[in-house]
Copies of this chain bind each other. A is one copy, B any other.
């Protein structure tokens, strides 16, 4: 079952040679044999290419009718009769490349939709596509080849590097973005952060939030995620970092490069993350903390202390993983009814 052609135009049949080239793999077979698309092991037909990257999926491979499978050398002998093995170093990566060969990123249709409102002094680089009802504010600067979707609002003075893609309903203000930045639908970048204080009359007053957001090259912000601008310094998301949907990044947060923030996670104001930090789904990091390079914050963790480099933490409060799992284990024993076998195994 190929990718639904209503949504994923196909570049047309591809030869085995082309496929193996983009996958970075070796094969034995007819270089000119044509395939029509990619599919999962379960769904693929003999005209389609699939992949397997781990031994645990072997049953699926054995049953598959895929005409060719991208896989690592150690699994090459497992392909069913008639199926061509395309042997690669990294099967998932190779497959992603093949999928992209069949379904290239849709080309932009450069031009400004007649309904788009573009400020007279905004600079729109060559090859940009600006969609229906987009609003580009005064003094905004769009690099070459940006795709601005329907209803997107780019605020005054905002700068986008080349090749940014802003999906429908996203908005960005008080921000500067590098090249290749992606905002998924409904992403919100640059709004006022949650800075309030109690005034002399007991009411809340807003503290002016005078920083901006800086998105490094290749940063992606998920659907409906929010990144608040800084209060006196900037909120900075390091190059290549990826933020999933419905995540919250508070004012003055700084991340290194290549960070991954998963859905519904929250990073409180002024926290600083090193390079390649992973924050799993629904985790929370308290304000002003430091999370070291390559640390990994587990799902639903509640980080209340700095996390050193390379450490994995989980739990709320978050402790190093082994410690947390011992705690869970101890707690589970305590939870056994009195007199049960499991209870008797208390340490």
Contact = CB atoms under 8 A, between A and B. Distances in A.
Interface of A: 3-4, 6-8, 38-40, 42-43, 90, 92-93, 95-96, 99-100, 103, 115, 117, 131-133, 135, 139, 149-151, 153, 155-157, 159, 167-169, 171, 173-174, 184-186, 188, 191-192, 194, 196-197, 199-200, 202-208, 210-212, 218, 220, 222-224, 226, 228, 232-233, 240, 242, 244-246, 248, 250, 258, 260, 262-264, 266, 268, 281-282, 284, 286, 299-300, 302, 316-317, 319, 323-324, 326-328, 330-332, 334-338, 347
Mostly, the A contact residues are: loop
Q: Which of A40, A90, A150, A338 has the most CB of B within 10 A?
A: A150
Given A117-B132, A199-B93, A248-B245, A157 B335 contact: no
Assembly stoichiometry (copies): 3
Given A185-B191, A268-B281, A326-B335, 6 more contacts: A90-B200, A95-B207, A168-B171, A188-B224, A202-B258, A323-B332
B266 A250 contact: no
A169 B167 contact: no
Given A207-B96, A233-B40, A302 B299 contact: yes
Given A186-B186, A203-B240, A284-B299, A335 B316 contact: no
Shortest 3 CB-CB contacts between residues of A and residues of B: A6-B157, A327-B335, A3-B210
